[in-house]
Amino acid sequence: MTIPVITIDGPGGVGKGTVCLRLAQHLGWHTLDSGAMYRVLALAAQQHSVRLDDEKALVNLAVDLKVNFEPLADLSGTRIILEGQDVSLVLRAESSGAAASKIAALPAVREALLGRQRAFRQAPGLVADGRDMGTVVFSDALLKVFLTATVEERANRRYKQLKEKGIDAKLDDLVAEIADRDKRDMKRSVAPLQPAPDALLIDTTIISVDKVMARILSVLELRNL
């Protein structure tokens, strides 16, 4: 029997990570934060003085990358260990997302990370979030969800998160950064950010995570999954 996968795709700041975790907790399944894989490779590149446009060197780095994804005991998230160091916090910075988005546009880099992502498909099931989970990596997924929200709302959420952490940020800068990353992710030649034709589209601009969850669970029920 094939191991079931649910994919949650969409742009940054749309709530994919939260929905992915909540759904995995509900079902007792594993999670894959594929964006973290691109982020961690970009970080490793910076630490090893590899340029973010050196496709060949990035592929070599990806093949040998010593990275572990360790689910926290309370299942509230994942600790990411790169070459023995906990890099979970560093990876959340917007600069890390921007670097990830740059290397993610390189076809050979995507290819090099494909096997690592598919290895997360383990019993009893997987909830995977990213940009191309439903279109490329797990195109046979049981259910494909695509979340959207306006750039302004996503920037607002990010602004609040940063404020809570005591980090200074300008809303206008966040809007510009998010729009920039969206453009790069949507315009790239391989696996661009777009909904799979059979994806369930949910606009999260004005609805809560609880409502998004309720919507997904009702579709699972309707389809007898």
Interface residues with ligand DC (CB under 6 A) are: 12, 34-36, 38-39, 97, 100-101, 104, 130-133, 181, 185
CB of 88 to ligand DC, least distance (A): 12
> In angstroms, what CA-CA distances link 186 with 22, 35, 74?
27, 15, 35
CB of 104 to ligand DC, least distance (A): 3
Q: How far apart are CA 220 and CA 3, in angstroms?
A: 16
Nearer to ligand DC, 4 or 97 (CB): 97
Nearer to ligand DC, 58 or 104 (CB): 104
Cβ 98 vs Cβ 176: under 8 Å: no
CB of 191 to ligand DC, least distance (A): 7
CB of 220 to ligand DC, least distance (A): 22
Provide φ and ψ at 184, rounded to 5°.
-65, -40
Q: How far apart are CA 91 and CA 100, in angstroms?
A: 10
CB of 18 to ligand DC, least distance (A): 12
Nearby residues of 32 by Cβ (< 8 Å), 6 or more positions away: 117, 120, 126, 127, 128, 129, 130, 133
Burial code (b: 16+ CB inside 10 Å, e: under 16) for 132-165 equals bbbbbbbeebbbbbbbbbebebbbbbbbeebeee
| C-alpha count within 13 angstroms, C-beta hemisphere, residue 18 | 13
> Which residue is closest to ligand DC by CB?
35
| C-alpha closest to that of 151 among 84, 87, 205 | 205
Nearer to ligand DC, 32 or 222 (CB): 32
Cβ 128 vs Cβ 24: under 8 Å: no
Nearer to ligand DC, 108 or 214 (CB): 108
CB of 224 to ligand DC, least distance (A): 28
Nearer to ligand DC, 4 or 11 (CB): 11
Nearer to ligand DC, 187 or 214 (CB): 187
